Amino acid sequence: MQLIYEKSKPGRRAITLDALDVPQSSLPADLCRKEDAALPEMAEIDVVRHFTHLSQRNVGIDDTFYPLGSCTMKYNPKIAEVAAAEPGMARLHPHFSSSSVYEGNVQGAYALIYELERQLAEVAGMKAASLQPIAGAHGELTGTLLMAAYHKDKGNAHKDTIIIPDNAHGTNPASAVMAGFKVVEIPSDVDGTIHLDTFEKALTDNVAGIMMTCPNTHGLFEKDVARIAALAHSKDALLYYDGANLNAIVGQCRPGDLGFDVMHYNLHKTFATPHGMGGPGCGPVGVGERLLPYLPGPRVVKAEGGFTLAAPEKSIGRVAAFFGNFLIAVRAYAYLRHYGDAGLKEVSRNAVLNANYIYAKLKHAYKPAFPGNFMHECIFSATPQADLGVHAIDIAKALLDMGYHAPTIYFPLTVKECIMIEPTETESKETLDAFCDAMLLIAEKAKSDPESLNAAPVTTPVGRLDEVKAAKDLNCACL
Amino acid sequence: MSWIPATEADQREMLAAIGVDSVEALFGSIPAALRMKSWDIPAGMSEMAVRNHVASLAGQNRVDHTSFLGGGYYDHYIPAAVDALSGRSEFYTAYTPYQPETSQGTLQSIYEYQSAMCRLTGMEFANASLYDGGTAVFEAATMSVRIARKNKIVVHPSLNPVYRKMLETHAANLELDIVTGDDPTDAACVIVQNPSFLGTVADFTDLAAKCHAAGALLVVSFYPVSLGLLKTPGEMGADIAIAEGQSLGLPLGFGGPYLGIMATRKDHVRKMPGRIAGETQDKDGRRGFVLTLQAREQHIRRTKAMSNICSNQALCALRALIHLSLWGKEGFKDVAIACHSKAEYLKKQLGFATILNEGPTFNEFAVRLPKSARTVAAAMLDAGFVAGLPLADVGAGEENDLLIAVTEKRTKEEIDAFAKALETASCS
């Protein structure tokens, strides 16, 4: 498809401003750009058609089943969009929070922030939460900065290391390093959970904390989590909970009760805010008692006559200019208020039921990566298919031709030819049945006609793209 | 529940297929002692009740004043088609383009966005966006450290004080030496902002030359709308250009989601954090786009990644691209001219106050009023105006100092009324 710049025609315009109603001023020539920015020159209808056509070369959760494991692609309710579009939310200037003069202008927003932070904390068994972090990985960084502040405050200068299991998201080790820590990776046991003996050996006095996902990225609940927490706390090491898989346990058990001291939430995963092709996300942090004094500030607090701001006593400072991605938080708030107590418990129950149903239907055609007890996602290894010349990537591309988004493939790195399927609670039995039929058909074709799968996809706007060429002949802008 | 399609009959059939008696059995790997005892979550509300409740909260916020508040975040007009197009669910309900064949809408829009950012800034490469303008400062600082292999970060006084605080928070546990000034000696970079936080327009070409002579990078944080008129970071010789992209079609939204813009020179592209879309072909020679240079990123490099950044702000970047495409080459310049001209017109009517800026301004300037800026701003609210940002509240000025911004949305009539009301509030 043509680029928007290739559709540009000199002199064509879409939107125009009213005629200037004040005298025109100009700046000294040496402070001005030499040439106008070469932005497109198009009529509005051309711009509208261009982006409409681009949208048709995309698929979202509203188009099709998106069983992207570890990414938790559930339906994004429309009421949340209506909530975020309320003018009293969307048009609110953030600097209203910079001066007490404007406090009266933002009481509704402060009430929402206060209540959402409270409910997020409650959902996870934490003492408090902060909406400041702007994405999940930003929440991780904030969490590790909180851990650093805690140890610094206690004079634990030797605590410079964080333990991370090998099945963790790549953001965990990267965040720990950005917060100034060294990282020790520990391998999983054959059953897919943390190897307790290896963990104990790695848990030296230098360990500041451990970052865990639970259920982990193998889709398995960490059975020794209580023991791990006790061991870590006996050495004054803190437990970080990666909220990527919180959807599996919401309303069933809580990270705070499991012994975690700090965590992030991915609002787009557990609380169904749209992920917009890669963002924006929103990654609030939650903390237990130990880290309460260090939370980012300022925070919304209740005062006489309304809400106001105050900074926690030993706050690490601001990680965002204001209250994080506020309009995403508004969406999550609408989601939480709709479900409430009973509804949230149904979320995890149905997410886990759906995943186990898929597992039951596919376990004879694809090789289960672990012996079972999957929670919200099930993980297969396509090694039997790979032996026939059909790799995980071929299976993924064949699914695209059959009208589905592909599951996550080749993650986690610990599983060969990994295929990770996460249906979430918002898919019906009919959808799961049809998807499983597609997967079973592909497994049959891997035996009878592997070449056809190697050629997939053939019905998409483009076929498999040359990623090596993209990196070698780097072309990242039309100038 | 509204968003869970399973009926009781579905659940029974699925449990039978799995071979268990109850959903409870599927949670058997969670030790009983660790199961949740209770929580204090209110009962659910119907969609209608949620809608009314959020509307009532929104109603407790005041957005009906005529606003002259800026400070890095501006009330610009957003063309109707920006909402209409970015609201297409094929865009906003999609995920990261892990399957490029069904994500060409995402990938081409990112490529076009990167192109727009390069054309705007006079730089050669842009990434697919960062979180926001403040975190972009931190990413630019650590990128400079990787390139220059030095640990000193020089922050010019022109930088937004909130960004400075965010930089310090993020770098708290790194061995970075953050100092104030403009001396690039032994520094990885000097970070400047144009226009400055107080609105002053400058040319940092000479500073760029000094930085390069000293082996440091020049990082320019810019205000996107100002580049309808102003000399670009590229023309000044900047190595990294960063910005808060809110002014390009994003609602103010009480702080986000916003858009972190980052562009750089060819030499540094492999040291730039974040996602990048690149052009390539399929086996039939059809043009297509993929995420590229991923070997720098956290999911492959883990502890050795350029940054931990994982998501970008693709939907916000799409809005910026649509916004810029609708205004187009001429319209974008017209917006900048209107912002500048209207601010200059207002400035001329504030004879009762002292203009604090040394040098020209674009659409924002600081004034010293005859009395406390807070007192004046409070009185102005009663007159229907948001007067601006009392600078003492953000540690960027004295008690009587106020930062005032004007956008293309303000009419001559509004500006006249504002000037009169401000004089009354300040001098009575």
Closest chain B residue to A34, measured at CA: B231
Q: Parallel, antiparallel, or unpaired for β B277-281 and B287-291? A: antiparallel
Strands (E), B78-209: 125-126, 152-155, 177-180, 187-194
Which chain B positions have a beta carbon within 8 Å of A152's beta carbon?
173
C-alpha atoms less than 13 angstroms from C-alpha of B57 in its C-beta half-sphere: 25
Which chain A positions have a beta carbon within 8 Å of B279's beta carbon?
470, 475-476
Using the Cβ of A372 and the Cβ atoms of chain B, whether some distance falls under 8 Å is answered with no
Percent of chain A residues topping a pLDDT of 70: 100
Return the sign of the alpha-carbon dihedral for residues A167, A173, A175, A180.
positive
**Over chain B, what is the mean pLDDT?**
97
* Closest by Cα among A36, A5, A10 to B111: A5
Model confidence band, residue B402 (pLDDT cutoffs 50, 70, 90):
very high
φ/ψ of A210, rounded to 5, equals -130, 140
Dump pLDDT digits (tens) for B201-252: 999 999 999 999 999 999 999 999 999 999 999 999 999 999 999 999 999 9
Dump pLDDT digits (tens) for A310-353: 999 999 999 999 999 999 999 999 999 999 999 999 999 999 99
CB B419 within 8 A of CB B349: yes
> What is the predicted pLDDT for the residue at A263?
98
> What is the predicted pLDDT for the residue at B43?
97
Contact A347 B269 (CB under 8 A): no
Contact B15 A353 (CB under 8 A): yes
Q: Is the pLDDT of residue B319 over 90?
A: yes
Distances (CA, A) of B318 to A38, A54, A320, B144, B321: 18, 11, 22, 27, 5
Q: Is the pLDDT of residue B295 over 90?
A: no
Contact A360 B19 (CB under 8 A): yes
Dump pLDDT digits (tens) for A85-134: 999 999 999 999 999 999 999 999 999 999 999 999 999 999 999 999 99
Percent of chain B residues topping a pLDDT of 70: 100
Model confidence band, residue A371 (pLDDT cutoffs 50, 70, 90):
confident
Return the sign of the alpha-carbon dihedral for residues A239, A243, A248, A249.
positive
Exposed/middle/buried for residue A230 (C-beta within 10 Å: 0-12, 13-18, 19+): exposed
Please give the Cα distance from B169 to B171 (Å, whole number): 6
> What is the predicted pLDDT for the residue at B300?
85
Our separate counts of H helices and E strands in chain B read 13, 15
> What is the predicted pLDDT for the residue at B1?
58
Closest chain A residue to B282, measured at CA: A465
- Taking the model in full, what pTM does it have? 0.98
Choose among A92, A275, A279: nearest Cβ to B61.
A92
Percent of chain A residues topping a pLDDT of 90: 98
Q: What is the mean pLDDT of residues A423-436?
A: 98
**Over chain A, what is the mean pLDDT?**
97
Q: What is the mean pLDDT of residues A239-267?
A: 98
Choose among B59, B71, B308: nearest Cβ to A141.
B308
> What is the predicted pLDDT for the residue at A372?
76
> What is the predicted pLDDT for the residue at B2?
83
Q: What is the mean pLDDT of residues B306-324?
A: 95
Please give the Cα distance from A272 to A251 (Å, whole number): 16
Dump pLDDT digits (tens) for A170-213: 999 999 999 999 999 999 999 999 999 999 999 999 999 999 99
> What is the predicted pLDDT for the residue at B374?
98
Using the Cβ of A462 and the Cβ atoms of chain B, whether some distance falls under 8 Å is answered with yes
Contact A275 B46 (CB under 8 A): no
Q: Is the pLDDT of residue A298 over 70?
A: yes
Which chain B positions have a beta carbon within 8 Å of A317's beta carbon?
165-166, 168-169, 172
